[in-house]
A and B are shown apart, each in its own frame.
Chain A
């Protein structure tokens, strides 16, 4: 490779991209791989949430992301993008969905357009890993309930208390500091004239002490 291809310009993907592709075992070679992935991308755009083998989902995800990002980038008046959509979406009514539904949905988003979850697999059965691939903003109920707001979990209760304690201590420290500073300030204003002669006598004494060994 050694040099970046400058003839094309693409937007950065918001998903983690593998450095190399998976071959997805196919008798038709690389062309067959794309034909296979085409079906997955079409199904994803059509159903918005699909369950399939992990490898295939992970491969198809990149293509779906790039298809949407190209559609957002160039719009439906761009010939090359339309050709791409025509190739990747087997059912032609989905081309309309891509440009009229998905593009407005993701235009202003700053996260990835798809999500992928690891799915459980039945035992005993096929040993391939399974996954769920979905478009963001789909109409189905969420797959993983968000528990991060649950304050009743034990560690959250403990952390809450620790936080309060931490804040209280910090405030107390601050107040102490403030008090000490003001005290110092008042002490210094009152004590400076009284201290001055003391320091003088001290210096005299030290001078004498220095001279003594010399003598």
Chain B
């Protein structure tokens, strides 16, 4: 039996041993030549799956996109940051909101009477990404304009309610500081105005009325859409200087835009990672909301 096996292995070895024939040629071997040909003819037809991540996620969760500055990016850091954000979101409902929405934020405050404080106001600005994401709420209380900066992922925040979900015409509403106070006055006991499910976020095209100069910023230079009476207060010299600082070529500066954005492929990757979590949280929230309305009907109370 042993002998049989040995003979068999020997024959196998002989069969597979390379023959020592050395041939030199300048022609590429067949495999190498095949590898060298660029494979551009890959037809990606019906196999391409539809993206699972909804397209509006980048507006709803902008803080999940990292800072586009290349020098500061790191895949591991971004991933850990996203995990922490998701962990925090599991504990607290951080709803969808935009600049122009009216929010009520309840947060722990060691100096407040009941150790919590609630502030209602309009979101005038949203900035920064990751765990640093923050927003500014503004309201006028006792004829005094008040602004509070909240960090979205600050664990001292107990509750974030969206009282009115809407957008404004501009990306940031700092001009409310120079507008008449009624435009940034909101009732503290305002009731939440629920939006129909699946309806698009309405855009409030209200035009605010500015106070006369002096202003905090030169609003005439910023091409604001939500201001009614800017022409009333500016003179020719303002108009001229505003024209001088305009940069009409920037809409053609593709590389500038590219460096300020996260490319679509990367966005897909990022949101594919967090999508399932966010989606389950959304569903949970909806379920809870329905339950709450059923348990405590507002009109009967």
Chain A interfacial positions (CB closer than 8 Å to B): 1-6, 8-13, 17, 19, 21, 30-31, 34, 59, 62-63, 66-67, 70, 84, 87-88, 108-111, 146, 148-152, 157, 164, 167-168, 171-172, 175, 178-179, 182-183, 186
Is there contact, CB below 8 Å, between A108 and B69? no
Question: Does A175 contact B255, Cβ atoms closer than 8 Å?
Answer: no
B residues less than 8 Å from A152 (CB atoms): 24-26
A-facing residues in B261-277 (Cβ within 8 Å): 261-267
Which residue of A3, A10, A149, A164 is within 8 Å of B36 (Cβ)?
Answer: A149
Flag whether B201 is at the interface (Cβ < 8 A): no
Give A84's nearest chain B residue, CB to CB. Answer: B252
- B261 engages A151 (CB within 8 Å): no
Interface size of B as a range: 35 or more
B129 lies within 8 A of chain A by Cβ: yes
Question: Does B187 make an interface contact (CB < 8 A)?
Answer: no
A108–B9 touching, CB < 8 Å: no
The reply to whether A34 and B62 form a contact with Cβ atoms under 8 Å apart is no
Chain A residues near B58 (CB-CB < 8 A): 6, 9
Which of A3, A13, A19 is within 8 Å of B62, CB to CB?
A: A3
Which B positions have Cβ atoms within 8 angstroms of A?
Answer: 1-2, 5-6, 9-10, 12-13, 16-18, 24-29, 32-33, 36, 38, 40-44, 58-59, 62-63, 65-71, 127-129, 132, 247, 249, 252-267
B-chain residues with CB within 8 Å of residue A84 when the two chains form the complex: 252, 254
Q: How far is the CB of A13 from chain B (nearest CB, A)?
A: 7
Top 8 A-B pairs, shortest CB-CB distance: A149-B28, A12-B263, A66-B254, A4-B65, A19-B70, A5-B260, A182-B5, A12-B265
Most buried by A among B41, B256, B258: B258
Q: Which residues of A contact B259 (CB under 8 A)?
A: 17, 19, 21
- A8–B262 Cα gap in the complex (Å)? 9
| B41/A108 in contact, CB under 8 A | yes
CB distance from B15 to the nearest CB of A (A): 10
Contact assessment for A62 and B68 in the assembled complex, using a CB-CB cutoff below 8 Å: no
Tell me whether A168 and B24 are in contact in the complex, defined as CB-CB below 8 angstroms, given that A70-B254, A179-B5 are known contacts: no
Please, which residues of chain A bring their CB within 8 A of the CB of B42?
A: 108, 110
Which residues of A sit under 8 angstroms from B255, Cβ to Cβ?
Answer: 17, 21, 59, 62-63, 66
